[in-house]
Chains A and B, each alone.
Chain A
Amino acid sequence: MIVASFANVLVWAIWVLAAFACLGSGIAVISFTNPFYASLSLIGNLASLAVMYLLLSAEFVAAAQVLVYAGAVMVMFLFVTAYLGNRADAPWAGAPSWQTLGAVAACSALFVEVIVVVGLKTSGRLSHQGKIDSSFGRPHEIGRLFLTDHLLAFEITSIVLLIAAVGGVILGSHSRDTPTKGVQQ
């Protein structure tokens, strides 16, 4: 009982930490002017998310998150940031334009709506958590699902990745013509 309640408290504590880290790093990403700092904040965001996935018994996804996102995607981001240099733009500087106000309003509205829908509309249905067995979230379970129920998604995803790779190469290659002076409209 006490062990159970201690485990519960532990889970809750980890959850609170991870959640705050997640939220904090999210705000940090959109607030930093330096893109390098913003990228690093995103890495922190991804890590905290991985922790939360673990709390939700999705071990494979947590691992994939760290490997793919933090390991590959963010590395790409950092490469490009290094290539571009320190081009900064100050998002909160100056008087708030109607664009900023509109954005804040829209996003707060979205957040409030999510809370409202989750809280009011789904109250009855979200009370019973399902029972999971030991293979939930394991790699072989994921693999089985991918190759049986969701084979189409699996194949299409591979095509998408291929296209992205080809596109990346083309976009990054040197063009044959001399680069024209940038046309500013």
Chain B
Amino acid sequence: MIPAAWICLLSPLAATLLITLGWNRLSRRGAGYLATLSVAVSFVAAIVAFAALLGDSPNERYHPSTLWSWLTAGQLDFGLRIVVDPLSVFMMLVVSGVGMLIVLYSIGYMDGDDEERRYFAYMALFVFSMLLLVQAGNLLILLVGWGLVGLSSYLLIGFWHDRPSAVAAAKKAFVINAIGDATFALALFLLIQRTGSLNFEVVFTQSIHGSWAINLIALGLLGGAVAKSAQLPLHTWLPDAMEGPTPVSALIHAATMVTAGVYLIVRTGSLFEQAPKVLELAAGLGAITIVMAGLIALVQVDIKRVIAYSTMSQIGYMFLAAGLGAYPNAMFHLMTHAFFKALLFMAAGLVIHALAGEQDMRKMGGLNRLLPFTYVCFAIGALSLAGIPPFAGFFSKDSILAAALDGGWYGELLWVAGMVGTFLTGLYAFRMLFIVFWGEPSGFVREHLMPGSHAHAREGPLSMTSTVGTLAVLTVIGGFLQFANVWTPLTTWLDPVARPLVEASGTQEAVSSILAVALGAAGIGIAWWIYGSRKAAAPRIAWAQNLLEHKFYFDEAYDFAFYRPAVFLATGLSRWIERPLVFGSVRELVQGVGLLGRDTSRLQTGLVRTYVLLIAASIAVLTVVFVAVR
């Protein structure tokens, strides 16, 4: 089991190194196959680890393994440590499984790009980083994986580096993530001070003295999670991150990296439980994000941005669950969301690929007959997103909402937000579907759709269609992993690591589910009314439209509050301190030396008489000195 875990972790890293070292000796396709193979090996290894873990009794399912002692300082000792336990194996399976499908899809999507090798090297690096994050056995290695994931995200968002918008988006993502990393690191410092270690066994079993300390630690961890998962208030980077290639958006910004925040909260649950106010804050932030992101998604015209805001919204659900202590529900939704969100992104990628790179929905239309396979997959994804049974999204989202009802008055408040979110989800998801796929093919589509003898050729190569199909199947069957209180293998599996604090009762489940499905269907219906059958025009409320199109003015607010003062400070420092003091002192020094040299050279008059006079005068003076000293 331990070797399997290490193989799972290191296989994508090996691929990165091989691609980097081989470079031109490897064909572009070859790099793609190598990367896919490495992630497939990871997946197989994860399955092996899972099977081995199943063989253990539930209380013994915890196997750390240290490679060597990485950082020692005084009494502190941090090793290169991974751990195989139910939570980490679960994440390993999700990450490597979905990752494998997406990397395979990329072979078709990125075909023909000049820099394919660099892309696959980065993708393999990302998979390695994410696996490092989820397999970490102490919080320091988790932070390392955290940082590496941020780096891979930056590299992949800015992959097409000759596009200034992509570069700017990559920078934005990195900076906002860095804020989260900073709070995370500060929390770790406090934790080290209180417990003297960062290993999971030590940190999660001790109770931290001092309420302010534990609150700060939890707050720091939450800060990191919020930044990485693009929740309010550190969410502004996610829509811009759509500048990267579509498979990147699928893998990093839907299925895996953005869920790292949820994983963190579930993993460090015992710390958060000692700081209940922070947990409540997490749930609250999640709830606000659900509604806000759902509203913004209603006015987006870029197909990928709709899906991005949808991601933001769905992770809000996960935060809501984790914040209330419903950890298995959060993880369940993490898994199903990985399936259907990756499916949506990749199906959108098929559309974009077929339309030669166009992402504006207003130019699309009537693609249901032209791209039938894509249409079906997209519909499956959208239905799952809206929470319609029997697709996966229904089971996972409803489990969260039902658990919310068990969380006291605060939980019920959040439940309301979740319900509003369900309505909005149905609305924007099907708005997108109807605009893109229904109606008559638009002029743009007729001009630009790739020519092909029949639909199948237009839909894209086998690497793309097969993976999308696989994900569609998973979306259909994935929900049956857990159902209400009746069938809970996931909760049982995660029990040793993450015991839930709230459990919905049967009635709560039933009520919540029926209402949720009804609201979702209502959203779909209204979307059909406006966008599907074009029976009514979309309502235009100017101020609301403005507010939503500007994404609630968050970008402008941050620009005003942080960017402008920073630039002001920097220019001020440059002009008043650096130029006169630093520059000036160096320049003054140079000038001074020059002046000294010039003045000293004046002594060399070339006149013998002056020299002799000086000698005579010196002798006169020195004689006095010597005589007086005697």
Listed in ascending order, the chain A residues whose CB lies under 8 Å from chain B are 99, 102-103, 105-107, 109-110, 113, 116-117, 121, 185
Contact = CB atoms under 8 A, between A and B. Distances in A.
Contact of B623 (A102, A107, A117): A117
A67 B619 CA distance: 33
Given A99-B609, A99-B610, A185-B606, A106 B623 contact: no
Interface in B589-629: 606, 609-610, 613, 616-617, 619-620, 623-624, 627
Q: Considering the complex of A and B, which 9 residue pairs feature the smallest CB-CB distances, nearest first? A: A109-B620, A106-B616, A106-B617, A113-B623, A106-B620, A110-B620, A102-B613, A103-B613, A117-B627
Contacts of B609: 99
Contacts of A107: 616
B291 to A, nearest CB: 90
A7 to B, nearest CB: 37
Interface of B: 606, 609-610, 613, 616-617, 619-620, 623-624, 627, 630
A102 B617 contact: yes
A110 to B, nearest CB: 5
B624 A113 contact: yes
Nearest to A103: B613
B617 A113 contact: no
A103 to B, nearest CB: 6
B157 to A, nearest CB: 71
A79 B624 CA distance: 41
B627 A121 contact: yes
B630 A106 contact: no
Given A99-B609, A110-B616, A110-B623, 11 more contacts: A99-B613, A102-B617, A105-B617, A106-B616, A106-B620, A109-B617, A110-B620, A113-B623, A113-B624, A117-B627, A121-B627
User: In this complex, which of B606, B610, B617, B619 has the most chain A Cβ atoms within 10 angstroms of its Cβ?
Assistant: B617
B616 A103 contact: yes
Contacts of A121: 627, 630
11 contacts: A99-B610, A102-B617, A105-B617, A106-B620, A109-B617, A109-B620, A110-B616, A110-B620, A110-B623, A113-B624, A116-B627
Contacts of A116: 627
A117 B627 CA distance: 8
A106 B627 contact: no
Contacts of A110: 616, 619-620, 623
Contacts of A185: 606
A7 B338 CA distance: 134
A102 B619 CA distance: 13
A106 B613 CA distance: 8
Contacts of A99: 609-610, 613
B439 to A, nearest CB: 97
A100 to B, nearest CB: 10
A105 B614 CA distance: 12
B630 to A, nearest CB: 7
Contacts of B613: 99, 102-103, 106
Contacts of A109: 617, 620
A113 B625 CA distance: 11
B618 to A, nearest CB: 9
Contacts of A113: 620, 623-624, 627
Contacts of B619: 110
B554 to A, nearest CB: 76
| Residue among B609, B610, B613, B624 with most chain A CB within 10 A | B613
A106 B448 CA distance: 102
A125 to B, nearest CB: 13
A124 to B, nearest CB: 14
B315 to A, nearest CB: 85
A110 B619 CA distance: 8
A151 B624 CA distance: 36
B168 to A, nearest CB: 65
A139 B437 CA distance: 134
A185 B605 CA distance: 12
A110 B627 CA distance: 13
Contacts of A106: 613, 616-617, 620
Contacts of B627: 113, 116-117, 121
Contacts of B623: 110, 113, 117
B71 to A, nearest CB: 71
A117 B321 CA distance: 105
B376 to A, nearest CB: 99
A117 B606 CA distance: 34
Nearest to B626: A117
A121 B627 CA distance: 8
Contacts of A105: 617
A123 to B, nearest CB: 14
A61 to B, nearest CB: 26
A106 B611 CA distance: 13
A101 to B, nearest CB: 10
B227 to A, nearest CB: 75
A104 B619 CA distance: 14
A92 B280 CA distance: 104
Contacts of B610: 99
